[in-house]
Structure 1
Amino acid sequence: MNDAVRAAGGPTGRVEITMLYAAGLFQGLSLVAFPAAASILTDASGYGLSKGEYGLLFLPQVVCAVAASLAVPALSRRVGLQLLLVAGLAANLASMTLLAASDTVRTAGAAHPVLLVATSLLGLGFGLTLPTLSTAVGGLRPQRRAVALTALNVMLGLGTALSPLLVALFTELAEWWLLPLLCAVGLGVVGGAAVLRPIEAPPGSGAPRDGAQVPRLFWLFAGAVLAYGVAETMFGNWGTTLLRDAGVGAGTANYALAAFWASVTGGRLLIALAPRSLPSTWVYVALPWAVAAVLALAASTSGGAAGVLVFAAGGLACSGFFPMSIGYGEATFPDLVELSAGWLVAAYQVGYGLAAFGTGALQPDASLGTVFRVAAVVAVGMAVAAVPIARRQHDRSRPGAALPARA
């Protein structure tokens, strides 16, 4: 594509950026489809999965997502962003198709293997799609990269917030599996558009040059993001189960999950619009402490209204840390921009896996409330790591200046 058209946001650029934002929306919807359906998957009148079986669903998802994220920098140099995006969308489409089709074999014994394949494909799709979207959006809007990436964040967040609401709506009006069916149709349309519209990698993207070393400081970023993945996943994957165990209805539990994801998105917008006089590093250092406090509070929440409020607070606390970590990583390691984004997504997925699968494995021996309290301690570790990361940042622009795409 002509650089002048891309930089100016000409007609071709607008079509492509719209396609990428639509891909972000459907990625967000798909990513939360399994947690949004947790009540159906674990209820005796639904699929009847045990908590251990439910937690096991996310293990292959994490393995595939980590492998795909780590491979993106090298693959983008060899096959290009367009093929990676199409492959990622196709994997997401196959996952949602299997999830919708699994309703025909609802018993745990028959459905569980199908669901394991579906989550594997979702992990592969997420791992390929998210870093590719971030790189492609930034390349299409090099002059307004921060704005473009913040918009992508909003679309991803909108998808994650809508997913539990749509499950609740479809369950009330028709069938819950209309959500994954809707995702599959949307992903198919966007994937078809991606085949027809060329997407170029920005200059300097791809794998690092031969002999390049990953700095030791990078692993501090990775550790902080891993801890964040644990904390966020407790809300996102186990929050509805926590509330259901406390006697909250399935519909209200899904509203609490929707409030969490909506607050994540709203919090990112607030950070992006915050005045320049508020240093981004102050926000970055404060957020993990808020995450720890809300996790500890959620462990003892019992009422439906209180649950919605606590989860909304959790979303605000979680909102900025991950995208700001990636933004700081890109600023700290300018020669490893795409590797930094891909590997930090992988670190996030490792944290996701530890919480999603590990919590299920611990259920025979520990209550969900106890696991939430342990996650609060992990969030304190995230807060400790945030301090030296913040000290390395010299840019005191407004907090939203470097918000890249979220997981």
Structure 2
Amino acid sequence: MNSKIVTIVIVFLLAFFTGVNFVVFPALGTAFTDGSVFGLSSSQFGNLFIPQVVCIIISCLGAPFLVNKFGPKIILTAGLLLMILSTGILWMLQYFMQDKSLLFPVLMILVAFTGSGFGLSITTLNPLAASLFEDKKSSAILILQFLVGLGTSTSPLMMNLIGNVKNWMYVPGSIFILVTVIFIIFLFLKLEKGTFFELPSHFKIPYKLWIFFTAIILYGFIEGTFGSFGAVILKNQGLDNNKASLGLSLFWGGIAVNRLLFGIFSKRFNLSYVFLISPLLVGALIFLLLIDPGVHIILLMMFLIGFFMGSIFPGSIGWGTVEFPTLSVLVSGFLMAANQIGTGIVTNVLGSFSNYTDAIFQFLIFCMLAICALLFYLKRNSKIKEAF
């Protein structure tokens, strides 16, 4: 099964199912905190994601060197197996929930497996997708990240569809089956290691890559704020629970739509300046939220904030891949880790400040201005037009 088209289809399906698998634990939040099911406290549920973030950062930073040594197929296989193992054991917990004293430590281990598997998988999938489209590397990464995002929105939807929280086991059960099937098909693919995945024997991280790294940490602050605390912030703005949840969905929907459109149109049109000024547009939209424009305008703003944020992260990976072709896997892992560092920091810090909405917005505006300045600095003598 060596057809390039089949390989492309499987790689992009893996991206979607990696996204589905990644958010199975957050999607089951109501089951984990329900006293009649798992019975975790709110603080335990929050602490559950500390090992996930740590393991993602470690695996994203380690994956480039592992792929360089063992090739993309072995590392992708290891990442997928970790996620399958985690989801499978989670499904089996329904038979071993009598002794709840062991549940929390077991869940911590499973979340660590999921984080490690996600980091290894997505760090390898980004350059793998780029290698399949030699003249459209950035577009391939944008569409791949769109599919990951689409996958992350699927698990919560599955939880909504099953209705009763006591039926929680159908979510990990169905995900386990689907990911296992696509994994078995993937095993029949022949993936060459190729020069695309090799790192030079001696290299140092270019200073421009450190600037990308800094910009993506700042981006992670914004994504983490709206992604984790968006509903809380919107409730502070006067929205009811349903409208706040809708605002959060619109935010993620905006991100997904932008990545899809950028991936489709970036080779037909020069979108480099749209990419460069998008942080400014996000900053302006956040500023408008400061003046409390009314419920329907706030909801529109949430979609537009997500929309103009959409291309910043995967676009930076695509641009970095074009800019540093001999370090493509390192670019992917380095920037994936930067995003997790940003979201991890803000998620842990913001809990104490979630009621200070104006101060949060002002901080986010500063972050967006800084990102814009860093991107324009990187533009000098760069290959940005090749990327977009």
Q: TM-score, normalised by structure 2?
A: 0.83
Q: How far off is 1:68 after superposition? A: 1.0
Partner residue, 2:201: 209
Partner residue, 1:15: 6
User: 2:372 pairs with 354, 366, 383, which one?
Assistant: 383
CA 1:82–1:273 in structure 2 vs 1: closer, same or farther (change >3 Å)?
Answer: closer
Q: Deviations over 1:319-369 (max 9, x none)?
A: 000111112212322332221121111111111211233334x3xx65373
Within-5 A mapping of 1:64-213: 64-100=55-91, 105=97, 111-142=103-134, 144-171=136-163, 175-210=167-202, 212-213=203-204
Q: Deviations over 1:286-336 (max 9, x none)?
A: 222333345566689899866654432232022000111112212322332
Q: How far off is 1:140 after superposition? A: 3.3
Q: Structure 2 counterpart of 1:170, which letter?
A: I
Whole-angstrom distance in 2 between the partners of 1:252 and 1:66: 33
Verify the 8 A CA contact 1:168 1:254 in the aligned structure 2. no
Verify the 8 A CA contact 1:225 1:347 in the aligned structure 2. yes
Q: Structure 2 counterpart of 1:179, which letter?
A: V
Report whether the alignment pairs 1:330 with 2:318: no
Verify the 8 A CA contact 1:131 1:342 in the aligned structure 2. yes
Whole-angstrom distance in 2 between the partners of 1:304 and 1:178: 36
Most deviating of 61-70 and 89-98: 89-98
Partner residue, 1:4: none
Whole-angstrom distance in 2 between the partners of 1:229 and 1:19: 29
Whole-angstrom distance in 1 between the partners of 2:279 and 2:38: 36
Verify the 8 A CA contact 1:161 1:259 in the aligned structure 2. no
Q: Structure 2 counterpart of 1:355, which letter?
A: V
Whole-angstrom distance in 1 between the partners of 2:170 and 2:298: 26
For structure 2, the residue ranges without an aligned partner over 5 or more in a row are none
CA 1:243–1:91 in structure 2 vs 1: closer, same or farther (change >3 Å)?
Answer: farther
Q: How far off is 1:209 after superposition? A: 1.8
Whole-angstrom distance in 1 between the partners of 2:185 and 2:82: 16
Most deviating of 179-188 and 125-134: 179-188
For structure 1, the residue ranges without an aligned partner over 5 or more in a row are 2-10, 403-407
Whole-angstrom distance in 2 between the partners of 1:83 and 1:351: 29
Whole-angstrom distance in 1 between the partners of 2:92 and 2:287: 38
Q: How many residue pairs align between the two structures?
A: 385
CA 1:340–1:146 in structure 2 vs 1: closer, same or farther (change >3 Å)?
Answer: closer
Percent identity among equivalent residues?
27
Q: Structure 2 counterpart of 1:367, which letter?
A: N
Q: Structure 2 counterpart of 1:57, which letter?
A: L
Q: TM-score, normalised by structure 1?
A: 0.80
Q: Structure 2 counterpart of 1:63, which letter?
A: V
